[in-house]
Amino acid sequence: MWLLIPLAVATVAGMVLLYPWGKDPAKSAFPQGTPVNATITATITGPCLAEGQVQVGEPSPDAKPCLTSELTMTDGPGTGKPLKLTLPIEPSTPRFAAGDKVVLSYNGGDAANPASFQIVDFQRGTPLLLLAGLFALAVIVLGRWQGLAALLALGLSFLVLALFVLPSILAGESPLLVAIAGAGAIMFVALYLTHGLSARTSVAVLGTLVSLILIGVLSAIFSAAASLTGLDDSTSQLIGSLGHGIDARGLLLAGVVIGALGVLDDVTVTQTSAVWELRRANPSLGWRELYGAGLRIGRDHVGSAVNTLVMAYAGAALPVLLYTSLSGVGLGSILGAEDIAQEIVRTLAGSVGIVAAVPVTTVLAALIASREPQESRWPQAPQSKTRA
């Protein structure tokens, strides 16, 4: 479809214009120290004492205990050297134990001084790689070459996010414009690479694009009407860390657009494939019949797709929901809170776009598929000849 060529050119031009050429936005954020890997060899729970301090008498019943961890650094300036760190045991403190592989934050000071290090997290590389390998294996076993193409498209999508979307937003570009350009690039790459260059794929791309525009417009209108600022805790911390302003509401809208893209791809590709298969099974169907049959399939699909989107956002916002429910105020106040209202706008705007994607994609697919010459999938049985 020639209509998509200027859209693809506009996407590439937008990425070129919005990319932070000559900047290094990843290093402009606040430093948290150099990550250093270590292994915990032993842990001791006891009173919180400073280095060299000795406990005298019985500890106070109200005194909070501390966890003293003995570690061996496996890389960094103190490779192979022992280290002892103490941190208070709080409800929010991770439970470290002997044998745990952890990540330390090194502030650049004396490597022999424990004050130069701080335990910040666990090492999770190995289990995540194993899970990624299991996922890739499952996709390839079921999808074969198309599954391999889907994995390649997924990798390229992550590259767009990591190498374009994140650096551009951190450099101060408009988050919404960056998200639109990035989502366009992901849409073109993922769909055409996975499903091939065909009229069927082009219909799915066009249906996805129309629905994304609708989602973006609805999100912008209702986030402004609801006076959403986008300044939740994580965004406020980001702004403080960057040292320069950022469009918080635009960041909210960017998240809506990118978050809805994956579900939209699923809906539009499924609808397009359904219409093409109906046409293949019965070439005599006109576009009205194809549209009606495809829409009936879409009604079943849209319910599960909307539920998927709602549950995905609800799961991501579960800690916020739990925290807000402790306030003891009425349901209206809870739903009107900034963090909850953001998720409501994100969910409902995305759901409207998914619902709209079904008739839009189906009618486009029906109009184009009905004009393509195609033979019936079920050939007629040859008629027997009789001799005179």
Q: pLDDT tens across 360-381, in order? A: 999 999 999 888 776 444 444 4
Distance CA(182)–CA(177), nearest Å, equals 8
* DSSP-based three-state secondary structure for 64: coil
Q: According to the model, what pLDDT value does residue 25 have?
A: 52
In order of start, what are the domains of the chain with their CATH numbers? Answer: 34-46+65-123 (2.40.50), 141-369 (1.20.1640)
Distance CA(94)–CA(90), nearest Å, equals 8
pLDDT band for position 41 (50/70/90)? Answer: very high
CA atoms within 13 A on the CB side of 269: 17
Residues 283-289, mean pLDDT to the nearest whole number:
89
Please, which residues have CB within 8 angstroms of residue 353's CB and are 6 or more apart in sequence?
A: 211, 212, 214, 215, 218, 260, 264
Q: According to the model, what pLDDT value does residue 62 have?
A: 62
Nearest residue to 191 via CA among 231, 146, 229, 228: 146
* CA dist list (Å): 333 to 61, 241, 325, 337, 340: 39, 30, 10, 6, 10
Residues 109-123, mean pLDDT to the nearest whole number:
86
State the amino acid at position 266 in one-letter form: D
Residues 45-56, mean pLDDT to the nearest whole number:
64
Residue 38 has pLDDT above 80, yes or no: yes
Distance CA(239)–CA(245), nearest Å, equals 6
Structure tokens at 319: 């800690």
Total residue count of the chain as it appears in this document: 388
Higher per-residue pLDDT: 318 or 139: 139
Burial class for 61, CB neighbours closer than 10 Å (0-12, 13-18, 19+): exposed
- E strand segments, the chain: 34-47, 65-73, 82-88, 101-106, 117-122
* DSSP-based three-state secondary structure for 152: helix
The residue with tokens 């319910």 is 303
The residue with tokens 């666990």 is 122
Nearest residue to 213 via CA among 272, 256, 174, 168: 256
Distance CA(388)–CA(368), nearest Å, equals 47
Strand order in the sheet with 82-88: 82-88, 65-73, 34-47, 101-106, 117-122
Share of the chain above pLDDT 70, in %: 83
Q: According to the model, what pLDDT value does residue 235 have?
A: 76
Residue 7 has pLDDT above 90, yes or no: no
Return the number of other C-beta atoms located less than 10 Å from residue 114's C-beta: 14
Structure tokens at 227: 């006076």
Q: Is the dihedral of CA 230, 234, 238, 240 positive or negative?
A: positive
Distance CA(42)–CA(370), nearest Å, equals 71
Model's pTM, two decimal places? 0.76
What digits encode the pLDDT tens for the residues 166-210? 899 888 888 889 999 999 999 999 999 988 888 889 999 999 999
Residues 150-157, mean pLDDT to the nearest whole number:
92
- E strand segments, 90-140: 101-106, 117-122
pLDDT band for position 110 (50/70/90)? Answer: confident
Residues 293-313, mean pLDDT to the nearest whole number:
79
Write down the mean pLDDT value for the chain.
Answer: 82
Higher per-residue pLDDT: 276 or 62: 276
The residue with tokens 């498209």 is 153
Q: Is the dihedral of CA 367, 371, 372, 377 positive or negative?
A: positive
Residue 331 has pLDDT above 80, yes or no: no
Q: According to the model, what pLDDT value does residue 151 have?
A: 92
Distance CA(256)–CA(264), nearest Å, equals 12
